[in-house]
Amino acid sequence: MRFTSSKNTGLKNTGLKNTGFKYTGFKYIGLVLILLVFTAKLSAQDSTFNDGGQNFTLTDAIVRNHFDYKAILQRIKEDTSFYKAFKTLRTIGYSSYNHIEMKDKNENVVATLNSKTKQTRKDNCRTMDVLEEQVTGNLRDAAGSYNYVTPSLYASLFFTKGTICGETNIVKGKVREITGSGIEKAKEQLKMLFFNPGKKIAGIPLIGNKLDLYDESAHALYDYKLDYVDYHGQLVYVFDVQPKQDLGFLNKNRIVVDQMITWFNPKTLEVLGRNYSLSYKAGVYDFNVQMEVEMTYFNGVLVPKILRYKGNWDVVFKKRERGLFTATLFDFKAAQ
């Protein structure tokens, strides 16, 4: 049997000894990569910042970019852009697709509304045309009034009945108060919850003070986190508020805001979007409400683009309501 020289075939350079060196080298490189990843994770840990006795979590993205987080958090607490955006709808024209569903205790749909409307703002007044509409079930009574608070609330937000004049979108210095009685009062209470999540609301019995996410009593109940993330293709601030995980039974009963996530324009700190869940049970009423809102800009002014609502609530002497609605706004027009 004839053997070929290892000098010519290269067997000498690829023997077990050299292969072992290569294997060891790969192991060493792997360990280095693992250490680098672990070190990167350690360096990207969140930080805690205390502001007036209240702890806020700041992500590595906030700290690394040297954002003025104190000023950001203060602006977030004082925000009025969310409410102002809805007030702006009173001062411009727009079109809307409207969808409302009312359900029974078994989640069966018992009444609906689907429509397309167009609002016009002219000579300091607004009017609305109903371009398409389909109604099912007992949404309205024989006189055309709503049989439920939910569609009545929707109508007060997005429908214009007759001609309404002299409205502005000014919110600075304005104090919202709950007035009226019955359905009108219930609508105003729901509006206050929608437009002022996380702020103290006078006039709502038993829970008015519990809605304030920034007072001293809330510090022990909620976690607050500020981050810098991608939102619909742009980098924005996001502020996340959630109840602490280790709350006892008594403290859990003090929770009203189950979650609130808000995305802010990094230049103006206007609200670009907000998702929030509110729930509470008391002797005279209970509610469980979820909202999702997306904003857009029209002529440089913030306006709502999409609003989704789902709610289950009951007030003493009133029938429990389970409903949802979606408003899709588009084709915004300047006032004439």
Asked whether residue 67 is assigned to any structural domain, the reply reads no
- Domain membership of residue 12 (yes or no) is no
Express each pLDDT in 138-155 by its tens digit: 999 999 999 998 999 899
User: 11 pLDDT exceeds 50?
Assistant: no
Mean pLDDT of the chain: 82
Mean pLDDT lowest for which of 48-62, 121-135, 150-164? 48-62
In sign, the C-alpha dihedral spanning 80, 81, 86, 92 is: positive
Q: Is residue 51 part of a domain?
A: no
- Can you tell me the distance from the alpha carbon of 107 to that of 279, in angstroms, rounded to the nearest whole number? 19
Give the whole-angstrom CA distance, residue 99 versus residue 160: 16
Determine the pLDDT at residue 176: 62
Q: What is the pLDDT averaged over residues 263-288?
A: 89
8 Å CB contact between 170 and 86: no
SS (H, E, C) the chain: CCCCCHHHHCHHHHCHHHHHHHHHHHHHHHHHHHHHHHHHHHHCCCEEEEECCEEEEECHHHHHCCCCHHHHHHHHHCCCHHHHHHHHHHHCEEEEEEEEEEECCCCCEEEEEEEEEEEEEECCEEEEEEEEEEEEECCECCCCCECCHHHHHHHHHHCCCCCEECCCCCCCCCCCCCCCCHHHHHHHHHHHHHHCCCCCCCCCCCCCHHHCCCCHHHCCCEEEEEEEEEECCEEEEEEEEEECCCCCHHHHCCCCEEEEEEEECCCCCCEEEEEEEEEEECCCEEEEEEEEEEEEEECCEEEEEEEEEEEEEEECCCCCEEEEEEEEEEEEECCC
Between residues 168 and 282, the one the model is more confident about: 168
pLDDT at 300: 96
Kindly indicate the confidence band of residue 203, based on its pLDDT and cuts at 50, 70 and 90.
low
Question: What is residue 246's DSSP assignment?
Answer: T
Is residue 60 in a domain? no
**What's the mean pLDDT in 19-35?**
49
CB 277 within 8 A of CB 262: no
Rounded mean pLDDT of 243-263? 88
Per-residue pLDDT reduced to its tens digit, 97-115: 999 999 999 999 999 999 9
Is 242 part of any domain?
yes
**Structural domain boundaries, residue 119:** 73-333
Q: Which of 67-81, 134-148, 182-196, 259-273 has the lowest mean pLDDT?
A: 182-196
Query: Is the pLDDT score of 268 beyond 80?
Result: yes
Q: Is the distance from CB of 327 to CB of 113 less than 8 angstroms?
A: no
Number of domains present in the structure of the chain: 1
Residue 10 has pLDDT above 50, yes or no: no
pLDDT of residue 67: 81
Q: Any idea what DSSP says for residue 218?
A: G
Residue 38 is predicted with a pLDDT of: 42
42 belongs to a structural domain: no
- Between the CA atoms of 56, 62, 68 and 74, what dihedral angle is there, to the nearest 10 degrees? -40
> Smallest Cα–Cα separation from 101: which of 286, 311, 317, 299?
311
- Residue 62 within any structural domain of the chain: no
Is residue 316 helix, strand or coil? Answer: coil
Mean pLDDT of 211-227: 84
> Band of the pLDDT at 62, cuts 50, 70, 90?
confident
Residue 167 lies in a domain: yes
d(CA 137, CA 197): 32
Share of the chain above pLDDT 70, in %: 78
- Span 83-94, pLDDT tens digits: 999 999 999 999
The pLDDT assigned to 43 comes to 43
Q: pLDDT confidence of 16, banded at 50, 70, 90?
A: very low
Q: How confident is the model at residue 316 (pLDDT cuts 50, 70, 90)?
A: low
